[in-house]
Amino acid sequence: MMISRTMSIRALLFLGLFQAGQRSLASAPEVKDPPKRIAVVGAGIGGTATAYFLRQEFGAAVKIDVFEPGTVGGRLATHNMGDYEYETGGAVIHPLNLHMKHFLERLGLSQRRDVPGKMAIFNGKELIFEESDWFIVNFLRLLWRYGFNFLRMQMWVESVLDKFMRIYQYQQFGYSFTSVEKLLHAMGGDDFLTLANQTLEEAMLGEGFSQSFLNDVVAPVTRVNYGQSVRINGFVGAVSLAGADPGLWAVDGGNKKVCSGLLYHSKAELIPARVTSIAVKLRPSKAGITASLYEVNYVGDSGSAHSLYDIVIVATPLHQGKSDITFAGFSPPIPSQYPGRYHQTVTTLVHGLLNVSYLGTSEKPSTFSVSDVLTTDTKGSIINSLSSIDPVHIPPSYSRPPASESKVWKVFSPQPLSQEQLRDMFLSWDSTSETKWLAYPAYNPPHRRTPPFILHERLYYLNAVEWAASAMEMSAISARNLALLAHHRWNSQVGRIDQEDLHTRLRGEL
């Protein structure tokens, strides 16, 4: 959050390796005719990254269709307010999210200029912590209150991140995994599986962190990032805490630009239609053996239609309220919706004047410069966070206005805010906008099995990964994994699927 963390040498090495952009070992000889047609369902960051990586794996000849009934970007979305555009969905990216960084570079996009901000924590009555401009002041305040919990948290998150970073090396060498559990295991062994199957609270109490530290510091972070308490799983909890690291960034012009860029770059065709069902069809092949094809049925502006594909990748959550796709003719059957639900987070943008007294502070609005107010998990708290936000593109002369001026605030809450609640928080406003998201899974470990990556022989499911953690980078990692997996399974290259001990085996390669 405030204390800068040193990047590990290994992470830096991977960064170098990664940006060289060349996969040295993975292009083995083709043993089979390439697929002719591939469908991707959904054009969020997951689907568009899949199209990009599929093109990389299968070459120029294969036809790739991407189905999307809504706006390209999915949960990466912006809203116009006044003269500017603001992020309403996925907003910030970690400095070590290497796929997102790579996309930016390949697409000629840049990072948005950084406008430094200050964080505070609100307990429903008053601000229990307020960041100062001075690093040493913050450090001493935290040390005074929480002892070494804070430093230990940074070390704990870094140790998780260090293992997490291994996935980039594996993918660089072309390795892929058939389940979320195997992917997690390859990164962090049994420790990661345990972490993903217990609550963050259990994991951190087990590591010796204090309950008051969990309540005052950790819960506000999980609330702003996932709208949920410290009872989310420990893996997504660590991802969430990494989201409080310094150096977070966003894409200049809006994060969703990455999605349209990847789509364009992949030379895939965008079909503006909603997929209604996917059926498996048997066809005689050249060799006389029957091969299965997938019939994708869809509805667009010009009515309904269907097309046949060799490979299909579903890149939208198969959950209540997120999509409703019927799978026909599969044995065992594939459900339209997997167990578990998505958690609602409402984004409210307000262009107006904040009532700073609402935060229980006696500071004058003209000097109140906190940009991010996180909240503790207290009974009756109606908001998860309140932030002063900047446009997706920062004009040259821009500086963040103080609270005494009308500006754009973003409130995350589990329920829509009533006019009364808005009146408590704001003195006045000239416009508001509300987006109700089914934002990320409701994480309640210990859990049943995570949904599968492989739904059928050549039918794959990207968003299974969200049950470990939901983030842009997680969808990108899943996209690369499925493009590799689809390629290796097509060509029967079992040597790059579910390999054990990769970390030890690849150490020599560096």
Ligand X SMILES: *[C@@H]1O[C@H](CO)[C@@H](O)[C@H](O)[C@H]1NC(C)=O
Ligand Y SMILES: Cc1cc2nc3c(=O)[nH]c(=O)nc-3n(C[C@H](O)[C@H](O)[C@H](O)COP(=O)(O)OP(=O)(O)OC[C@H]3O[C@@H](n4cnc5c(N)ncnc54)[C@H](O)[C@@H]3O)c2cc1C
Binding residues for ligand Y, rule: CB under 6 A, are 41-47, 67-70, 74-76, 89-93, 274-275, 315-316, 323, 325, 345, 347, 437, 439-440, 463, 470-473, 475
Out of 33, 207, 424, 430, point to the residue binding ligand X (CB under 6 A).
Answer: 424
CA atoms within 13 A of residue 86's CA, in its CB half-sphere: 23
Q: Which partner in ligand Y, ligand X, none is near 193 (CB below 5 to 8 A by kind)? A: ligand X
CB nearer to ligand X: give 344 or 404.
Answer: 404
Listed in sequence order, the residues at least 6 apart from 247 whose beta carbon sits closer than 8 Å to its beta carbon are 4, 94, 95
CB nearer to ligand X: give 195 or 224.
Answer: 195
CB nearer to ligand Y: give 302 or 362.
Answer: 302
Out of 197, 233, 348, 463, point to the residue binding ligand X (CB under 6 A).
Answer: 197
Compute the distance between CA of residue 308 and CA of residue 312 in angstroms, rounded to an integer.
10
AA identity, residue 415: Q
Label the pairing between strands 311-314 and 459-461. Answer: parallel
CB of 394 to ligand X, least distance (A): 30
AA identity, residue 57: E
CB of 40 to ligand Y, least distance (A): 9
Compute the distance between CA of residue 477 and CA of residue 161 in angstroms, rounded to an integer.
14
CB of 359 to ligand X, least distance (A): 8
CB nearer to ligand Y: give 171 or 316.
Answer: 316
CB of 75 to ligand X, least distance (A): 25
508 forms bridges with which residues in the sheet?
none
Q: Which partner in ligand X, ligand Y, none is near 201 (CB below 5 to 8 A by kind)? A: none
CB nearer to ligand X: give 197 or 478.
Answer: 197
CB of 160 to ligand X, least distance (A): 17
353 forms bridges with which residues in the sheet?
428
Letter string b/e over residues 480-495, b meaning 16 or more CB atoms within 10 A of that residue's CB: bbbbbbbbbbbbebee
CB nearer to ligand X: give 329 or 365.
Answer: 365
Contact assessment for residue 509 and residue 78, using Cβ atoms and an 8 Å cutoff? no
Compute the distance between CA of residue 395 and CA of residue 252 in angstroms, rounded to an integer.
11
CB of 181 to ligand X, least distance (A): 6
CB nearer to ligand Y: give 319 or 496.
Answer: 319
Q: Which partner in ligand Y, ligand X, none is near 52 (CB below 5 to 8 A by kind)? A: none
CB of 416 to ligand X, least distance (A): 20
Contact assessment for residue 316 and residue 455, using Cβ atoms and an 8 Å cutoff? no
CB-closest chain residue to ligand X: 446
DSSP, residue by residue, 473-494? HHHHHHHHHHHHHHHHHHTT-G
Contact assessment for residue 328 and residue 278, using Cβ atoms and an 8 Å cutoff? yes
Q: Which two tokens stand for residue 40?
A: 């991707």
CB of 171 to ligand Y, least distance (A): 17
Distances in whole angstroms, Cα of residue 316 to Cα of each of 324, 432, 462:
10, 28, 7
The strands making up 407-413's β-sheet, listed across from edge to edge, are: 127-130, 119-122, 372-375, 385-388, 407-413, 342-354, 426-441
What single-letter DSSP state applies at residue 331?
S
Nearest to 160 by CA among 128, 125, 195: 195
Element (H, E) at 288: none
CA 245 to chain centre: 16
CB nearer to ligand Y: give 15 or 474.
Answer: 474
User: Which three-class secondary structure string do you get for 257-275?
Assistant: HHHHHHHHHCCCEEECEEE
CB of 423 to ligand X, least distance (A): 6
The strands making up 303-309's β-sheet, listed across from edge to edge, are: 303-309, 290-300, 273-284, 326-328
What single-letter DSSP state applies at residue 30?
P
- What x-and-dash track marks residues 442-481 binding ligand X by CB under 6 A? ----x-----------------------------------
CB of 366 to ligand X, least distance (A): 16
Where does this chain touch ligand X (CB under 6 A) — which range of 41-49, 266-274, 352-360, 430-438? 352-360
Q: Which partner in ligand X, ligand Y, none is near 358 (CB below 5 to 8 A by kind)? A: ligand X
Is residue 193 within the footprint of ligand X (CB under 6 A)? Answer: yes
Out of 3, 270, 427, 454, point to the residue binding ligand X (CB under 6 A).
Answer: 427
Is residue 355 within the footprint of ligand X (CB under 6 A)? Answer: yes
CB nearer to ligand Y: give 361 or 413.
Answer: 413
Where does this chain touch ligand X (CB under 6 A) — which range of 345-353, 355-363, 403-411, 455-463? 355-363
- What x-and-dash track marks residues 356-385 binding ligand X by CB under 6 A? -xx---------------------------
Where does this chain touch ligand X (CB under 6 A) — which range of 134-142, 288-296, 350-358, 376-384? 350-358
Q: How many residues bind ligand X (CB under 6 A)?
A: 9
Report the phi/psi class of residue 260: left, alpha or beta, with left for phi > 0 and alpha for psi in -120 to 50: alpha
Contact assessment for residue 298 and residue 304, using Cβ atoms and an 8 Å cutoff? yes
Stated length of the chain: 510
CB nearer to ligand X: give 2 or 359.
Answer: 359
Binding site for ligand X (CB under 6 A): 181, 193, 197, 355, 357-358, 424, 427, 446
